[in-house]
Amino acid sequence: MELQLALDLVDIPQGIALVKEVESYIDIVEIGTPIVINEGLHAVKAMKEAFPNLKVLADLKVMDAGGYEVLKASEAGADIVTILAVAEDATIKGAVEEAKKQGGKKILVDMIGVKNLEQRAKEIDALGVDYICVHIGYDLQAEGQSPFEALQTVKKVVKNSKTAVAGGIKLSTLAEVVKAQPDLVIVGGGITGEDDKKAVASQMQQLIKQG
């Protein structure tokens, strides 16, 4: 089980400073969609250069032109790129093919907005993606939704891909997440919003390692 830190509301220097605090406790650093929109793919490049030992995920939420966008993210140093599950199968296939060409880059499919989770997870699992991520977005978190039930639904049907979970996970809810045994736990504000980021990240890593 790995821990991914999601950075969303920072610029490049702030992001690098934040990762420095917690780098020994995380496996993957995510350049979130807001940073990609504000800073472009050079945010991915800057993070990979600053932390060559960490994997960097570019949260592009690709919806079309999968191959091209994976190519561009790979050139910037991304190890993992996100594609939306509601994209066409052809887009997801194109992304997977390009990721392989780029020397084993990984594709994470984000299930945000998917209505029939079980059916779509089965279909995507057959397309050769690396991760299927259950994701309760910011707007639904505000309504009190959590991703645990959805994770169990997806885990039941997925045979080939690894599973990931994201959406408002905090130290207080992490034990419940770990019990569901995802391969990747994605935490944003649960670390970045804390005063002692290092201590929280360290405790999270311990829980994940025990899991």
HSE, CB side, 13 Å, CA atoms: give it for residue 9: 6
Give the model's pLDDT for residue 144.
Answer: 86
Tell me how far apart the alpha carbons of residues 24 and 20 are, in angstroms, rounded to a whole number.
8
Q: Which long-range contacts (CB under 8 A, 24 or more apart) does 22-25 make?
A: 22/191, 22/197, 22/198, 22/201, 23/51, 23/53, 23/54, 25/198, 25/201, 25/202, 25/204, 25/205
Tell me how far apart the alpha carbons of residues 90 and 176 are, in angstroms, rounded to a whole number.
35
Give the model's pLDDT for residue 93.
Answer: 98
Tell me how far apart the alpha carbons of residues 83 and 59 are, in angstroms, rounded to a whole number.
8
Give the model's pLDDT for residue 41.
Answer: 98
Give me the helix-helix angle, 89-101 and 66-75, nearest 10°. 30
Q: Is 80 helix (H, G, I), strand (E, B) or coil?
A: strand
Say which DSSP state 38 is in.
Answer: H
pTM of the model: 0.97
Per-residue pLDDT of the chain (211 residues; tens, 9 = 90+): 999 999 999 999 999 999 999 999 999 999 999 999 999 999 999 999 999 999 999 999 999 999 999 999 999 999 999 999 999 999 999 999 999 999 999 999 999 999 999 999 999 999 999 999 999 888 888 888 888 889 999 999 999 999 999 999 999 999 999 999 999 999 999 999 999 999 999 999 999 999 8
Q: Is 200 helix (H, G, I), strand (E, B) or coil?
A: helix
